[in-house]
Structure 1
Amino acid sequence: MIKNKIAKAGLMLLTLCLFNIAHAQISQNDRDLSHFQAQIESARASGDMDLADSLASQFLSLATQSNLTQFEADALYQQARNDMERNLYAPSQERLNRAIELYQELDDQKKLGNAYRQLGLTYRYQANYSVALEYIYLSMQIFQQLDDKDAISSAHNSIGVVLEKMGQFEEASQAHQAALELNHELQDQGGIASALFNLGDLRRSMGDNELALKYFQDALKLDIAGGELKNIAYSHHKIGFVHNLMGNIEQARFHIMEALKLFRQIQTPRDTDWALTSLAQLEMDEGNYAEAQSIIEGVINRAIENQYNSLLVDAYKVAAELAFRLEQYDASLELIDVGLEQAKRNKERADEALLEELRVQVHLKNDSIKEAFEALQRQKRIDDEILNAKRLDSIANVQAQSEFVRRAHQIELLEKESALQRATIQQELLTRKLWLVAISAGVILMFMLYGRIVQRKVNLQLGEQVALRTQELELKNHQLQLAYQEMEEISLTDKLTNIHNRRFLDNHIDADLDQCHRVYQDWRKGKTSQPSQSDIVVFMIDMDNFKEVNDRYGHASGDLVLQQLSERMAKVFRHSDYLVRWGGEEFVAVARFIEREDAPLLAQRMLNSVNEMPFELTDGVLSNQTCSIGFACYPPVTKSNHRVEWQRFVSVVDACLYAAKHSGKNSWVGVYSISDSMLLEDADISLNKLINWSVKGLAVLQSSHGDIEKLRRTQIK
Structure 2
Amino acid sequence: MRSAVRLAAALLAGCAAFGTPAVARAQSVAAASAASAPGAQASAPDIDELKARIAADDRRRPLASITLAQQALAAAGLTPADRHWLRTRLVRDLSRLEQTDEAVAQAGIGRQQARDESERLHFDRLAMAALLDARRHDELLKRYQGVALRLPALAGDEANADARLLAADIWRLAGMAALGLGRLPEATELSTRALRILDERPDAVFEFSQTLTAIALVHSRSGRVDEALRTVQRAIDASEAAGERSVLSGYYLRKGHFLGLLGRTDEQREALLKARAAAQDELRPYNLAVAATNLADVALQKKDYRAALGHAEEAIPLVERSGDKESLWVCWVNKGIALNRLGQPGGIEWISNAIAAFAATPGMAANAADIQGLLAEELAFAHDYPRAYEAALQFKRLSDEVRKAADHKRIAEAQAAYEADKQQRQIEALEHERQYRQRFHWVLVLAAVMGLAAAVVAAISRHHVKRAYRAMRDMAFSDPLTGLRNRRHLVSSVQDDLAQARRLLANAGGAPANADVVFLMIDVDHFKAVNDMHGHAAGDAVLRQCATVLQRQLRESDTLVRWGGEEFLVFARQTNAGEIHVLAERLRASIAAHGFVLDDGQVLRKTCSIGYACHPLQQHAEGSAPVDWNDTVALADQCLYVAKASGRDVWVGVTASEARKAPEHVETRELRAGVEAGIWTLRCSDGREIVWPAS
- TM interval, shorter chain, is 0.3 to 0.5
Q: Answer with 1 or 2: which has the greater Rg.
A: 1
TM-score when scaled to structure 2?
0.43
Q: Which has the higher helix share?
A: 1
TM-score when scaled to structure 1?
0.42
